[in-house]
Structure 1
């Protein structure tokens, strides 16, 4: 996290301001130092903090729907986009201020004579304040979180065009692909992601995010099988525990969706071992029971775990799901009569969960009539 500028540096910056008149029309070492310092430690810091505050609020407000495959990124929720609009608007405002007040586009003077390659690269730049491109990127991300996708796309494109010589273009291209994913421009996203995956210059620190973006592209097209490998790669590389838990859970769901029950059970087990928040832990245990196959887990252990969950007061309102999961295990073992009894208990325990009650009733009725097979 950036630190506020030390007091003694304020004095130096103030002196620079007096000497230079705070002009961005002159490009000297002094003016570049002045505008780099003030844009970084003052306005950019505040804009970045506002952006981060919005992200924290979005994470805290987002509620996962465990009846669906969870999204990799949670910025597509319209209600949350509206709730964090003040923070994102402030981030955009602060970024615009840095660009307006501190952008240096004037070329510096140089003496005649041959130039080194490093000097040629320096003088060819379109911008001489190293924080301006960062502010454009914050602005683009803020637009995306505001669901102003076309403004986000135009901002990302501008960065790629104007700052092609900076390493920031790789992260920008990745965010451009994410924006295209949000508006359904999958071909454009795929084109960008293919370029990034083959680029030798793509920063190693962004590989996890890149793989997750590729997985997101496939998931939005409901190509769940193709999403598995890139998301598994992302899980191998990501270090943040909260993100690892989410990726592992989604990998369980994706494998379950395409019928890879053993792999699904493995990933749900990984989630449980990482000690996730209670609701995710509960759903991981329920889902692991639902994908039980010989060799993926021991039936006796799973039944014992589910029976313990039935006795836990915290699971009082979730008993319908637990009974249903037990029914699924007995079904997979070929004990249809026992399975039907648990589906009956599930239906009787459903009070507020109408979806689960309907599911339990239909499953039980189907097996009683021997005409409907158990849904996954």
Structure 2
């Protein structure tokens, strides 16, 4: 059979199994679109997996399971449940064990945290807003997140902005920058997404704030260019962030990523190493923490898009965001609007987005100090030490 020598098929199947996709309900429906020249059924898919030696769990991986779990917990920036740990084991380390095996290990390693995460001990949140959608790329929810920025979002220049597909709950983009209030910088994030992927959703939902003006302009320009003469109220929905589906994502992010960073930032401020009124301190802290936070966000997004969302009270499908986005089941359909290169070039010329500077501009003394700091060579837990070391270099240089 021709498929037996198909390395592309083998790698595709191995990747999906590594991400713990269900064989019948998730992998099988995705195959005809990716490999239309083969015929697939559940039985021959299982033969393929057996032939390629691809297994959902591997007995040998249990040997070092506890060591990997302890490593993940030590590097974690927040509280992780067994599903999150199992997803990290698969996606980052290719350790394929059952979620039950991970849960059993966690019960022995941190029984108090496991008990605290028990659903019976949590309050249920009521989902707000009207999220009736027709499929992936029908509606994106976009919002900023300032929980790492401190009091009134003004103590630390660490701001997050993200976009989520409302149907699948897939995170389309999540970036950290020194501000999420500048409309040009926020707009550049959406512009870069469109330039890379060459499609837009039918509509977007954003806060009614000055920072969303460029995003709205980009969305409406491309809609009109592609024969969707929608009024602004149809192409761009304005509403409070509390009625925005991405708010659920921020709550999970708060649990998984923020505690460790917040503790470090509070310690720097309370110890006097960081002075919010000092422009050098602000510049240095952003330069140190933004790369660490972005790397943590990238890992979180990978986990989020591959984890399984349970059934909810509203009429939305359950499943993995990646699967729901790529392979929507009937009656849902992909609603993306493909944009042409010519339209993108015109957009680029009219918006001047290619000339928008999103990178943090380093002060000379900060740039000099960072020559002696290898930012991402160390774990995020050491970001605080990196800041203190660089701050000491700056202080020494200015006093000699």
Q: TM-score, normalised by structure 2?
A: 0.25
Q: TM-score, normalised by structure 1?
A: 0.26
Q: Which has the higher contact order (CA 8 A, sep 6+)?
A: 2
Please say which structure displays the higher CA radius of gyration: 1
Bigger helix fraction: 1
